[in-house]
Amino acid sequence: MNAARLRLNFAALALCSLALAGLAAESRPDPTFTKFKTKMLPQVGHKITAEGALDVGKHGCWLAFDGWGMYIKTTTTNRSDLAKLNALNQFIHHKVKAVGTLKHQEELKSDTPLVSGIPEHFFFDAAEVTVTESEAARPEIPKAK
């Protein structure tokens, strides 16, 4: 009986420790994101150029640059916008140049712990962004002699 009670107490202590660690992690923003955010917030609403590696992300394509990155995502369920987002798949794992109006999404917290919220992030709307393969990523073609 004592061994079972000891295991139960240990499990409860472990769960409490994990919960407290999670709360502590939420209260301390990532310094890399804070630096990126400080640089990017004044540019929200302006057309900017971002150059980096395009990858798959949780909310659309993830464009990694400047030590952090942003999403390229749709803000509607319009079929043409989704088609534009899907067209970016050809650039996944490539270095690209994206030109668009920078947007910012504040963190959206969930009312229940069973549903995750949406973290704060920057993004381009797929309907409005222009993405091309970066000049730096293109192989150099030898000139004919």
Tell me, yes or no, whether 123 lies in a domain: yes
Q: What is the pLDDT of residue 115?
A: 84
The Cβ of residue 81 has, within 10 Å, a number of other Cβ atoms equal to: 17
Q: What is the pLDDT of residue 112?
A: 86
Tell me, yes or no, whether 20 lies in a domain: no
Tell me, yes or no, whether 124 lies in a domain: yes
Q: Which domain holds residue 59?
A: 31-137
CATH number at residue 120: 2.40.50
* 28-61 burial code (b ≥16 CB/10 A, e <16): eeeeebeebbeebeeeeeeebebbbbbeebeebb
Tell me, yes or no, whether 4 lies in a domain: no
- Count of CA atoms in the C-beta half-sphere (13 A) of 5: 2
Q: What is the pLDDT of residue 86?
A: 94
User: Is 119 within 8 Å of 71 (Cβ atoms)?
Assistant: no
Taking only the tens of pLDDT, the chain with its 145 residues reads 566 665 655 544 444 444 444 544 455 789 999 999 999 999 999 999 999 999 999 889 999 999 999 999 999 888 999 999 999 999 999 999 999 999 999 988 888 888 888 889 999 999 999 999 987 655 555 566 6
Tell me, yes or no, whether 143 lies in a domain: no
Residue 88's nearest CA partner among 125, 52, 54 is 54
Tell me, yes or no, whether 8 lies in a domain: no
The total number of structural domains in the chain stands at 1
- Collect all residues with Cβ–Cβ distance below 8 Å to 94 and sequence separation of at least 6: 53, 54, 133, 134, 137
Tell me, yes or no, whether 3 lies in a domain: no
What is the distance of C-alpha 58 from the center of its chain?
7
Which residue type does 80 have?
S
Tell me, yes or no, whether 97 lies in a domain: yes
